[in-house]
Amino acid sequence: MVSLRLEALGARYGRTDVFSGISTRPIEGGRLTALIGPNAAGKSTLLKRIAGLLKGEGAVHVSGADVLERSICYMPQDTGGNAVLTVYESVLLAAKQGGSWTVSEDNLVEIDQTLASLGITDLAFRDLGAISGGQRQLVAIAQALVRKPKILLMDEPTSALDLFRQIEVLHYMHELARKTGIAVIIALHDLNHVMRYCDQTIIVAGGRLVTDGPTAEIITADMLRDVYRVKARVETCTQGRPMIVVDGTA
């Protein structure tokens, strides 16, 4: 199974350090790992740095996957672009990068299965510009999944989705990781989702690692006060799951 570990990782834009010295415990495949922190903590930049899209100090140690091939896939927050392409073509495009012009039946079966797994087959022949932000986010997830990565880095993949779709996507990703053994690092803002679906969590703030470890152990009232500046409690709901109740700003 794939596993990765960050060692003294850093990145800068121009002369400004976005983050530095980020080292983590091994991030294992088969589970979801949350990447959390307040705005401008450097979460997106850290994901891009892990994906190799940015250069900087430190190293990403990967075992169980070839880093040079398309094992790492970064799914950006921006679902953007206004290309005159259908949803189907845009997912095919993700699958065919670096490949030949010809599209085989196997390619098409893959696209069909990916769209079906996310429940968006009915969008297949809609233009990208004609679908909603939430639907675009689902298409972006399809584009990432069709590349069959071993390490998937998702930057706020549920930010434009309604509550039902958020739960559906996170549940699906959790199951996908469990069944296929891929490592998924997912930047999220909703900490209740993090507590429910992510086994491990990495917390960053101000360009530094705050802590990393099992989610249930590191999301505490103290952490919420220190990192997020909110007064909050971690309670247990009637179904026995931990949940955060926010009382106000700290």
Partner 1 sequence: MASAVTPSSTVEARQRYRALTARRLLLLVVLFSCLLLSVAVDMALGPARYSLNEVIAAVLSPSSVNGQLRVIIWELRMPTALMAVTVGACLSLAGAEMQTILANPLASPFTLGISAAAGFGAALGLVAGVAILPAAIEYMVPINAFLMAMTASLFIYGVSTMRGVTVETIVLLGIALVFTFNALLALLQYLATEQALTAVVFWTMGSLTKATWGKVAVTAIILVAVVPFFARNAWALTALRLGDDKAASFGVNVRRLRLQTMMLVSVLAAIPVSFVGTIGFIGLVGPHIARMLVGEDQRFFLPGAAVCGALMLSATSVVSKMLVPGAILPIGIITSLVGVPFFFSLIFTNRKKAW
Q: Min. distance of Cβ 207 from partner 1 in angstroms?
A: 20
Query: Does residue 192 interact with partner 1 by CB under 8 A?
Result: no
Angle (CA) 90-142-159 rounded to 5° is 105
The tokens describing 175, both together, are 């199951």
Region binding partner 1 by CB under 8 A among candidate stretches 23-31, 69-77, 193-201, 233-241: 69-77
- Per CB under 8 A, the list member of 57, 89, 210, 243 interacting with partner 1 is 89
In angstroms, rounded to a whole number, what is the distance separating the alpha carbons of residues 124 and 15?
A: 44
Nearer to partner 1, 167 or 218 (CB): 167
Query: Does residue 133 interact with partner 1 by CB under 8 A?
Result: no
Site string for partner 1, 149-188 (x = CB under 8 A): -------------------xx-xx----------------
Q: Min. distance of Cβ 111 from partner 1 in angstroms?
A: 8
For residue 23, the tally of other CB atoms under 10 A from its CB is 13
Alpha-carbon distances of 99 from 75, 90, 95, 107, 240, rounded to whole Å: 20, 15, 8, 11, 49
Alpha-carbon distances of 42 from 7, 14, 39, 83, 100, rounded to whole Å: 16, 15, 8, 29, 37
- Per CB under 8 A, the list member of 1, 85, 210, 243 interacting with partner 1 is 85
Region binding partner 1 by CB under 8 A among candidate stretches 17-25, 126-134, 179-187, 230-238: 126-134
In angstroms, rounded to a whole number, what is the distance separating the alpha carbons of residues 41 and 18?
A: 8
Contact criterion met (CB below 8 Å) for 228 and 38: yes
Q: What is the three-class DSSP state of 229? A: coil
Binding site for partner 1 (CB under 8 A): 14, 51, 53, 70, 73-86, 88-90, 92-94, 96-99, 101, 103, 105, 108-109, 111-113, 115-119, 121-122, 124-125, 127-130, 140, 143-144, 147, 168-169, 171-172
